[in-house]
Structure 1
Amino acid sequence: MPRRSSRLISSTLRWCVLLPGALLTSATWAQSADSETTPLPVAQPAPTSPPPAEDSTPSAEPDSTSRTVVTGTRLPRPIRDVPATTVVLPREEIDRSPTLTQDTLVRSLPSVATFRRTPSLVSDPTAQGLNLRGLAPSGVARTLVLLDGVPVNDPLGGWVFWRSLPRLGLERIEVVPGGGSALYGSSALGGVVQLISRPITGPALDADVSYGNRGTGLVAARGAQRWGPVAAALETELLTSNGYRIVSPGQRGAIDGDTPSNHVVLNGRVEAQATDTLTLSARANLFRENQNGGTRFTTARVELAQFGAGARLQTEARGTFTLDLYGRALRFEQDRARVAQDRATEVLAASQEVPANDQGASFVWTAPTWNAGGTHQLSAGLDARRMAGTSQERIFPATQAPEALVAREAGGTQWSGGVFLQDLYAPIPALELSAALRLDAWRNTRGQQRVERVNGATDTTRYDDRTEHQLSPRLGLRVRPWDPVTFRASGYRAFRAPTLNELYRPFQVGTVLTAANADLSAERLWGAEAGVEVEPLRALTARVTGFWNVLEDPITNVTLPGNAGRQRQNLGRARVRGVEASVDWRLSRRWTTLLAYTFVDPTVTKAPGQPELVGRQLAQDPRHRGAASLTFEDPRLFTTTVQLRVIGPQFEDDLNERGMGGALVVDAAVSRRLFWKVDLFAAVENLFDREYLAGRAGVDTVGPPVLARVGLRLRDAP
């Protein structure tokens, strides 16, 4: 396979990885959720240089009323004043978390899940699609993931490369569930997760180094410096692991082994205060990942390069103008195996290369606050994105029948763009109304599939260009009748256009082949939510939110008659309703506890041509998810966190025939200051080595066993 782009990225990354070889530390754990509402997201990246977050000093009393968030309204605002539900994982809790990978970190929130239960440590990105509140999980994310306002979802399949987002550079993670298309367009059907980078202050140096069982080692470092009006930050991370045997013990064969993986990341960011009102920025990201799925011929590889630039102009008279430009090029490679029934032997079944790229731009204007029967905060913006990708597949058929396929190439180009308008209107301080409206259009072009057969014959199918559009409104309400109590409610319409992957690229997991479908139309969502937040004490916050969503024409993998594989289809209609609740209580200056629970009822209500699916539960969607954590923190002694994660039973397939039981997993972390700013820490995931099913796609796979590590952590930044 061609490796020209690989060698370029690889050589750059190799020397970069040596930079952090100095000092050292790794993240401990603590789950947190400062849940406050925020109006729905707008279709444009958040400010290039996020506003500084509130004080996160571990010994300080938590103050949710002062925490600043940007995702729900695309404006920096106190979290308690935002009209849409927002959950925040601040930097101190990211540091304390026992989790190793970013996807496992965000899944510690019960309303957040990825398609399969396996972490990115042993699973390639095609199984890591993000969903919020159980909104129809699939390999494709139904949630938009942003890094400082720039989309990180893959341009071909909407996947998320979680391991390309190192946590040392993060100030916080904001999660806004509920339809977000009114501000962000297509990918925000189920909500938005935004990773906010730390402000660049200097000089500063942070580092992590850790090692654990199963050959798991991590080295990471971040350095930042400021020279007058210019500031720069550089981050790097190297992670390697032997993984574990993912096939369940009862089905393992001679071919099944561990799942080794490694990745390397290098991120650079520069900001310049050009004038008193104008800030310029630029960033570059390089990422490489190698994974083995447990056998010789089940491998995956990703190489990615991304670049961006931004400008932010703040004026008193005309408001704030923000411009972001970005581009990305990547190559995803995957080998698949044909495995004997007893799993004693395997042969290479197919090898894919999937080059993809995208380019995008967004522009947002925020008007100065003005008065007319109350205060108004008006914002508007537009964005555009071009995405292109092609799956180039070599197939090695079991027999050399003349009609058997030996090669397949499929792909196309998608253009999308949208404009939005938002008004936040507060007639009185205790009441705020929000309204947002967005118009999107997208066009699929140059779609085709070309196949080659053993006998040398070739067939090329070209698909007609298609154009669609969507209007996405959102209305919100925030009422605070008295200071400790806040009510929120909102209604919205959202959508997600099918990805190039869903339209043109077939895929296989285990023995199950899923065909593409060029006739797919957009998924559409109608939804509403309402909730209350009570803060009777500064140290105690309780929240309850109910939600009701109707997903029309969801793109799902439907089992074909006679179990002749699966195909992506617009299923019909599904109802996803439920409730989420949490209690955040700082028992004292040393003790903090969090309890959170999410119930989801994901039911198919309409399935033309598939009447047997009506009334069944959506696949990969448990009804019950919960979390609890207890943290003790005393800088003179030590800091420790114990976390409990609960996942209810669920089904692998749309027919609800392949059930998977629930799971209860305990994680823990402890750290102690050694000297200066260096801590010694230890972290364990799945402390009691609980075995549970993670997938049943042709072969049963299991979740991670106990993963333990020890390390050193240096925190020299404010």
Structure 2
Amino acid sequence: MAGWRIRGGGAPWAILLFACHLHAADAPSIVTNLAPIIVVPTPLPGMGIDAAALPYAVQSLRYDVQRDVAGANLVGVMNNRLTGVNINDVQGSPFQVDVTFHGFRASPTLGAAQGISVYLDGVRVNEPFGDIVSWDMIPEFALESITLLPGANPVFGPNTLGGALVLTTKSGLTSPGFDADVSYGSYARRRTDLSYGISNAQGWHLFVAGTYFDENGWRRDSPGIMRNGFLKFGRHTAADDWDIEVMHGSSRLVGNGLLPGTRYDDGAQVFEPGLYQRDRRAIYTAPDVTHTQATQLTTHYTHRFGADTQLTALLYTRHTRRDTVNGDINDDYDDFIDACGAGYGADGEPLDGDCDVSRAQADALATGVLNSTYTRQQGQGGGLSFSTHVGDHQLAFGTTFDRSSVSYAQYTQDAMLDEGSRDTIVDPSAPVEFFSGVNGTSRSWGVYATDTWALTDTTHVTGSLRWNDLRLLSVLSSADDGVQPGQRNTYRKLNPSLGVTQALGSWVMFANASQSNRAPSVIELGCADPTEPCRLPTGLQADPPLRQVVSRAWQLGARWKNDGGLNASASLFRTDNRDDILFLRAPNTQQGYFANVGRTRYQGADLDVGGQQGAWSWHLGYNLLLATYQSYGQLLAGERTIDTRPGTRIAGLPRHSAKFTVDWNATSRLTLGADLLAFSGSVSNGNEDGRISDDDPDVRANWGTRGYALVNLRAVFALSDALQFYARVDNAFDRRYETYGAVADDALPDGHLIRPQVAPGEEMSTLFVAPGAPRLFTVGVRLHF
């Protein structure tokens, strides 16, 4: 099959039923690319196929080009340029954000349910412990392309429920020469990116890249530093390719979490502004530091048997370490407040009979706690992929094998919380106590096959099949129960996919149905017993096994483009998760546990159009997302228990999002551009049922985060082909906005700890929010020679 061929003209009326998406351009601005977009529809490198022949809406872009115009980092480019992508800036750090696509998540937060697989040159970089994604450990300046494949695509293995993000890197063959990008911005944000590529006539090639990032952070006491490097060395010949990649990164990032905003005073029965309204740069408690290191060694080998057949092999080893230090209010102190809220009499004895702590003991009680975690992970694996053209079939067969070992431990240390600085101050003599931990191994094996069959010049059928086999061994331990017996869990699943594309003149219609699965993570398996609940994400206990999540998805849509520089694509999508894993409230406790519950559903539509006319280029993308629970149950959300029912909205996901980008080549040297990003409000965690407190079920309020719109401005001036200057203003109108909300009790109202003698009710139900970044200026210079 030489590629997709489109004949004739005409536009069927059925396109009016669909929504759409634009394939990003390969040019210094958002210029529509009329050349075919070639993607590899398998996790391992292999033969490409025209995306127009695939029965789903692929989004693919050149990262370096889009970074030039979109700015920021990898997450920022995806948020600005990819339809259906949204970010929750929970930590306030540009490298610690939750990325969602069609409602499914790729997040660095341990304990968060993940649903997107992320691949870097064929290696799945979701960490084995919790499937988290460390965005700071991806070598951004070495990236060549980003491809986002939607839906429950079985070919990309377990956890591909909402989609697969495929990242490919440059080489000395594709990116020769020296490149540098040096920038400085608001809040002392400094970044330097360097790369150099070289090759010779014998096919030898070398590429090296490095990034240094440092900032004070726009929130108080939130500095961050990140360094990473990348090296690729290899050789290309007529029949063979091989390369070796080495990647290493380290970071120290401060993510200060949510801020208390609007609160409800139960006594006065009024709503009041909180700390966020007074100062969006504030922090709640400190410190909140994450240290991460990752090293990865990868080798690829490809042999071409001819123009239409090749075999690719991959081997890798990956080592990561992640240490966190988090200061918080002592849980024992919270429990004490609940019991002793009535205060004390003149004799110093508690007025509440349930309180057994004297006034003298209360004054000496530690109000803070320092929680620290240590995670060590090692992973090795490989894969083999065979792809070929045989008649009207483009076939790919492959197998992958991954194994990993993990060691995780959490420790606590009593401390005092300084009410002025909100710092957790540790007494060096206070003991560091082990709280919980896990040691375990995993082994994952998969076999897949996919075939795109050209029935006619205008009709293609794509069928895929993958068998997954995952085995886990975990040994849990806790301060109360010691080391527990090892647990073995095995998860197997055969997942199919079938789709069709049909060309009708200048339109291409497509439809696809698919299935994928997600096995429970060790974090979830370690807290799945309602009789032994835990506080997310710690407190691991022995547990009953959880069932794997099974996702069934379908997509329906159309694509169109003409020779005048315009293109569009439209799609409807729906994914149903069966046996989804949620964090539920344990009976008679403020803690919870993971359990399988009925169903969740993510459905909606994408609409995207774009093009170029003269010196102007533009892109408009719209996403509609309806994310709901489809079963009855009790969900643990912060301090609240939510009774879910079919149709209850899932928190943190805007229903509407729109992205408009325009660029103007004002002169041959000057380009001006702007972005408009608009998002509707989203439901806050703990307010899904419209209530704000379990103690006052009749008090209702819409505590969802507000919708917002942001404008970004940019300018690029090319002094020569080798030298460019640029400037960028993010959130040009300094809009105050929130990307996520959660309902919880505020133990620091007005900046002061609740004292035992204070009457009950002072610990107010509060909407905590993730504040969005204020106006940020960036100036920089780029060199290429």
- With the length of structure 1 as denominator, give the TM-score of the two structures: 0.82
Letter in 2 for 1:365: F
Q: Distance in 2 between matches of 1:524 and 1:414?
A: 20
Gaps of at least 5 residues in structure 2 are 1-19, 257-284, 335-365, 417-426, 529-534, 636-641, 691-702, 745-767
- Per the alignment, residue 212 of structure 2 pairs with 238
Name the residue aligned to 1:423: 451
Q: Distance in 2 between matches of 1:620 and 1:567?
A: 21
The equivalent of 2:32 in structure 1 is 62
In structure 1, what is the equivalent of residue 164 of structure 2?
A: 192
Which position in structure 2 is the counterpart of 1:442?
470
Whole-angstrom distance in 1 between the partners of 2:575 and 2:470: 24
Please tell me the residue identity of whatever aligns with 2:23. Answer: S
Partner of 1:685: 730
Partner of 1:363: 384
Residue 663 (str. 1) matches residue 708 (str. 2): yes
Cα 1:622–1:360 shift into 2, 3 Å = same
Percent sequence identity over aligned pairs: 20
Q: Quick check: 2:438–2:475 contact (8 Å CA) kept in 1?
A: yes
Q: Distance in 2 between matches of 1:583 and 1:156?
A: 39
Structure-1 separation of matches of 2:92 and 2:114 = 14
Match for 2:102 among 128, 133, 138? 133
**5, 9, 23: which one aligns with 1:35:** 23
Superposed counterparts of 1:298-697, under 5 Å: 298-316=288-306, 319-339=309-329, 347-367=368-388, 369-371=389-391, 375-397=392-414, 406-445=434-473, 447-452=474-479, 459-482=482-505, 484-504=506-526, 518=543, 519-560=545-586, 564-588=590-614, 590-608=615-633, 612-614=643-645, 615-633=647-665, 636-653=668-685, 656=688, 657=690, 658-697=703-742
Following TM superposition, by how much is the alpha carbon of 1:279 offset from its aligned partner in structure 2, in angstroms? 1.0
Question: Aligned to 1:282, which of 244, 249, 253?
Answer: 244
1:692 CA displacement: 1.6
Report the 3-state secondary structure (helix = DSSP H, G, I; strand = E; otherwise coil) of the residue aligned with 1:643. Answer: strand
Per mean C-alpha deviation after superposition, the further-off stretch among 95-104 and 679-688 is 95-104
- Of 217, 220, 223, which residue of structure 2 is paired with 1:260? 223
Question: SS state of the match for residue 108, structure 1?
Answer: helix
One-letter amino acid matched to 1:704: A
**1:230–1:272 CA contact under 8 A, matched in 2:** yes
- The residue that corresponds to 1:88 in the other structure is 60
Distance 1:385 1:293, change over 3 A: same
Name the CA shift for 1:398/1:262 in 2 (closer, same or farther; >3 Å). Answer: closer
Q: Aligned to 1:244, what secondary structure does the other structure show?
A: coil
Q: Which letter maps to 1:312?
A: T
> Unaligned regions of 5+ residues in structure 1, if any?
1-31, 37-54, 246-256
Say whether the 8 Å CA contact 1:414–1:500 is kept in structure 2. no
Partner of 2:4: none
Q: Is the 8 A contact 2:207 2:232 kept in 1?
A: yes
Which amino acid in structure 2 is aligned with residue 298 of structure 1? D
In 2 relative to 1, CA 59–618 (structure 1 residues): closer, same or farther, beyond 3 Å?
closer
Mean alpha-carbon deviation: is it higher for 391-400 or for 184-193? 391-400
Give the 3-state SS of the residue equivalent to 1:153 in structure 2: coil
Distance, in Å, in 1 between the alignment partners of 2:118 and 2:106 is 15
How far apart are the structure 1 equivalents of 2:310 and 2:664?
Answer: 42
Aligned CA distance change for structure 1 residues 601 and 72 (closer, same or farther; 3 Å):
farther
Q: Give the match for residue 74 of structure 2.
A: 102
Q: Which amino acid aligns with 2:619?
A: L
Whole-Å Cα distance in 2 between the matches of residues 346 and 260 of structure 1? 26
Distance 1:360 1:311 in 2: 15
Whole-angstrom distance in 2 between the partners of 1:542 and 1:146: 27
Structure 1 window deviating more from structure 2 (291-300 vs 353-362): it is 291-300
How far apart are residue 638 of structure 1 and its match? 0.8
CA contact (8 A) 1:668 1:685 kept: yes
Letter in 2 for 1:442: L
Amino acid at match of 2:244: A
Residue identity in the other structure for 1:558: L
SS across alignment from 2:509: strand
Report the Cα distance in structure 2 between the residues aligned to 1:278 and 1:95, rounded to whole angstroms: 32
In the alignment, what sits opposite 1:10?
none
Partner of 2:187, secondary structure, is coil
1:599-649 per-position Cα deviation (integer Å, ceiling 9, x unaligned)? 011111113566921121112222111111111125623112211112221
Asked if the contact 2:580/2:598 (under 8 Å) is kept, the reply is yes
Q: Quickly say closer, same or farther: Cα 1:612–1:121, change in 2 above 3 A.
A: closer
Which amino acid letter does the alignment assign opposite residue 248 of structure 2?
Answer: L
Aligned-CA RMSD value: 3.0
Deviations 1:532-570 (A, max 9, x none): 112244311122100121111222333445671343332
Letter in 2 for 1:596: G
1:632 and 1:670 mapped to 2: Cα distance?
Answer: 10
Q: CA deviation at 1:203?
A: 4.4
Residue of structure 1 equivalent to 2:748: none
Match of 1:186, SS state, is: coil
Contact 2:131 2:521 in 1 (8 A): yes
Question: Which residue is equivalent to 1:13?
Answer: none
Structure 2 partner of 1:216: 189
Q: Residue 95 of structure 1 aligns to a residue in which SS? A: helix
Which has the higher Rg, Structure 1 or Structure 2? 2
Question: CA deviation digits over 1:408-463, x for unaligned, max 9?
Answer: 22232111111011111112110000101111111111x1221225xxxx522234
Q: Is the 8 A contact 1:225 1:231 kept in 2?
A: yes
- Helix, strand or coil for the counterpart of 2:56? coil
Per-residue CA deviation, residues 287-306 of structure 1 (Å, 9 max, x unaligned), is 00101234542111101111
Distance 1:672 1:435 in 2: 48
Kindly tell me: are residues 485 and 206 of structure 1, through their superposed partners in 2, closer, same or farther at Cα, counting changes over 3 Å? same
Q: TM-score, normalised by structure 2?
A: 0.75
State the distance in 2 between where 1:62 and 1:137 align. 28
CA distance in 2 between counterparts of 1:79 and 1:292 reads: 40
Alpha-carbon distance change, 280 to 211 in structure 1, aligned in 2, over 3 angstroms: same
Q: Which of 73-82 and 574-583 deviates more?
A: 73-82
Verify the 8 A CA contact 2:92 2:773 in the aligned structure 1. no
Q: Which amino acid aligns with 1:362?
A: G
Read off the aligned partner of 1:354 and give its amino acid letter. T
Query: CA offsets per residue over residues 234-274 of structure 1, 9 Å max, x none?
Result: 000000111122xxxxxxxxxxx33110100110001213x
Q: What is aligned with 1:28?
A: none
Q: How many residues align?
A: 632
Q: Which of 158, 162, 167 pairs up with 2:131? A: 158
